[in-house]
Structure 1
């Protein structure tokens, strides 16, 4: 489906619903395709689990690890240098 910008303003809710249902929605500027509406797929629990698994299998070297307090202290020190 292709629709011009002006008409898309009046039918945005409908167009979003169609795009979420898998319909290809193209918005055109003066008859020339400009953008495509596509649904956003949030990260699934599986994706998040994969990231955590990767982090567990690839820990930072000990020399690069810092505690939350060490990071906060480094930020304070860096900000003091701005003045």
Structure 2
């Protein structure tokens, strides 16, 4: 769960917030009661790309191939004109 913290408080306690982030906590920074930023643990390098690649490949593996027959070059590019 993300904890809300005011911008002024975040400024005063930044080291403490970073300590909490290292432990896996996330914070929403507010200004005048409105959310303006999020402080959360950074993903390990490549985790986002690897997750996106895995999701795409999983979807493609389970997607049914559609046979639409042959098409001409003109049919293929007719919408691009």
For this structure pair, what is the TM-score category when the shorter chain's length is used for normalisation?
0.3 to 0.5
| Structure with higher strand content | 2
| Structure with higher helix content | 1
